[in-house]
């Protein structure tokens, strides 16, 4: 789960990280209220789930009320990288002297957290990594010990030349590490970490990615979930106890079992098709679950054909058939539905589908199903 800047700062603040005072505003009335509580200059920041907002014009400083209102109005009506801005963070601006970078990520290869620090902050860090990799200092954290104070100091002395600031930054980094570790983050990033003219350090921009698999351990984070940009299909699936991941293709997939779901996507890809989603309706599938799955698939406008691939074990084929028939009655299914049912109560299911008179396209094998799904989506399968 990606936390937007304002939520990331909220979480970081709990760990004692220095964040400038600010308020989230969804409309001009709220912008006005925020401004009244802050000292000028203020900074208005678009809250969208993409980086590079500054360059795109989504971050503006304002030194008085009129200017702030005018800029907030402009930002609230703009799109950044195609994403409409729905809210802004209005904060007291920092008088920035220098900008640094601080980030902690999980390195998939070593399975450890890696701290990254650079004196080249504020800009796109991927760009720095490409053009000037030596400017990024890294430190691998031993999970057993966590980040130790001397390690934090050693790293901070590499990017700050002044001892007092380096020591202050070490404390800052240790807090960021606690935040990262305690919240089961995959990424916790501050860019820029700003040093102001008074020698104070601030998290001017913040980003946290929480490991979705750890979310059950963090019910407190649920309220920070951004509902403006969340994938609603994925959320709804989660509520219905279905595993669902949105993809870019055009074939909606409804499968039971994660392994079979992966195999189904593989076989679609093998014949040149593109799956629109991964969907595992799970083991014992009740008819309502199938109906819900269908509802979620149908909400995706990219879907041009739907492939049901069910291997009946614990899941009984007749239950799936019942769900499908119910779904067809209640939902407006315009796309062709290709269906492969095999296993427990297969015969009963087949008979039920036939008798329902619904325009379903039964197939015998997985391969045949994939090819039909591609054809019926109007594409040419690679055979």
- Residue positions annotated with a catalytic role: 101, 189
**Secondary structure of residue 361 in the 3-state scheme:** strand
Q: Are strands 22-25 and 83-84 parallel, antiparallel or unpaired?
A: unpaired
Would you give the binding string for ligand GDP spanning residues 243-282, x where CB under 6 A is met?
A: ----------------------------------------
Closest Cα partner for 369 from 291, 241, 287, 275?
275
Question: Quick check: 12 binds ligand GDP (CB under 6 A)?
Answer: no
Shortest reach from residue 8's CB to Mn ion, in Å: 11
Q: Enumerate residues 188-217 that contact ligand GDP by CB under 6 A.
A: 191-192, 204-205
Question: Dihedral of the CA atoms 311, 314, 318, 319 (nearest 10)?
Answer: -110
**Closer to Mn ion at the Cβ: 156 or 193?**
193
Shortest reach from residue 12's CB to ligand GDP, in Å: 13
Among residues 99, 120, 189, 205, which is the contact residue for Mn ion, using CB under 5 A? Answer: 205
Among residues 1, 43, 179, 327, which is the contact residue for ligand GDP, using CB under 6 A? Answer: 43
- Cα(180)–Cα(67) distance, integer angstroms: 37
Question: Quick check: 287 binds ligand GDP (CB under 6 A)?
Answer: no
Question: Quick check: 99 binds ligand GDP (CB under 6 A)?
Answer: yes
**Closer to Mn ion at the Cβ: 102 or 242?**
102
**Closer to ligand GDP at the Cβ: 204 or 310?**
204
Shortest reach from residue 121's CB to ligand GDP, in Å: 7
Choose from ligand GDP, Mn ion, none: what does 214 bind? Cβ within 5-8 Å by kind.
none
HSE-up of 41 (CA within 13 Å, CB side)? 12
Verify cis geometry, omega within 30 degrees of 0, for the bond prior to 192: yes
Among residues 3, 85, 94, 363, which is the contact residue for ligand GDP, using CB under 6 A? Answer: 94
Structure tokens at 360: 């379903």
- Cα(87)–Cα(77) distance, integer angstroms: 10
**Closer to ligand GDP at the Cβ: 51 or 381?**
51
As a whole number of Å, the CA-based R_g of the chain is 26
Q: Are 118 and 137 in contact (CB under 8 A)?
A: yes
Structure tokens at 140: 């691998």
**Closer to ligand GDP at the Cβ: 53 or 340?**
53
**Secondary structure of residue 356 in the 3-state scheme:** helix
Our measurement of the distance from residue 41's CA atom to the centroid of its chain's CA atoms, rounded to an integer in Å, reads: 32
Beta bridge partners of 79: 84
Which positions touch ligand GDP (CB under 6 A)? 43, 45, 51-54, 59, 61, 93-94, 96, 99, 122, 191-192, 204-205
């Amino acid at each position: 789960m990606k936390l937007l800047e304002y939520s990331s700062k909220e979480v970081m603040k709990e760990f004692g990280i220095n964040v400038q005072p600010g308020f989230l505003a969804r409309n001009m009335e709220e912008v006005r209220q925020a401004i009244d509580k802050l000292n000028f200059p203020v900074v208005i920041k678009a809250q969208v789930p993409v980086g590079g907002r500054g360059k795109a014009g989504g971050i503006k400083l304002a030194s008085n009320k009129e200017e702030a209102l005018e800029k907030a109005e402009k930002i609230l009506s703009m799109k950044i990288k195609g994403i409409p801005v729905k809210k802004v963070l209005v904060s007291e601006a920092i008088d920035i002297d220098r900008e640094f970078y601080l980030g902690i990520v999980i390195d998939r290869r070593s399975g450890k957290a890696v701290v990254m620090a650079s004196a080249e902050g504020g800009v796109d860090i991927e760009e720095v990594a490409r053009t000037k990799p030596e400017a990024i200092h890294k430190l691998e954290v031993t999970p057993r010990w966590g980040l130790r104070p001397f390690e934090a100091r050693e790293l901070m002395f590499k990017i700050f030349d002044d001892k007092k600031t380096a020591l202050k930054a070490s404390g800052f980094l240790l807090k960021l590490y606690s935040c990262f570790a305690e919240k089961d983050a995959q990424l916790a990033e501050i860019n820029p970490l700003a040093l102001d003219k008074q020698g104070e350090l601030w998290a001017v921009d913040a980003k946290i990615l929480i490991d979705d698999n750890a979310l059950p351990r963090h019910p407190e984070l649920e309220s920070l979930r951004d509902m403006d940009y969340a994938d609603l299909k994925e959320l709804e699936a989660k509520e219905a106890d279905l595993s669902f991941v949105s993809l870019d293709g055009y074939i909606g997939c409804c499968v039971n079992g994660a392994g079979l779901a992966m195999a189904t996507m593989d076989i679609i890809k093998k014949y040149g098709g593109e799956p629109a989603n991964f969907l595992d309706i799970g083991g014992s599938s009740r008819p309502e679950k199938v109906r819900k799955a269908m509802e979620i698939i149908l909400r995706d406008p990219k879907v041009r054909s739907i492939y049901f691939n069910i291997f009946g074990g614990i899941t009984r084929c007749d239950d799936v058939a019942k769900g499908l028939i119910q779904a067809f009655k209640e939902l407006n299914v315009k796309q062709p539905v290709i269906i492969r049912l095999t296993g427990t109560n297969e015969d009963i299911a087949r008979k039920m589908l036939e008798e329902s008179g619904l325009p379903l396209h039964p197939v015998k094998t997985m391969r045949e199903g994939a090819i039909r799904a591609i054809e019926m989506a109007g594409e040419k399968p690679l055979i």
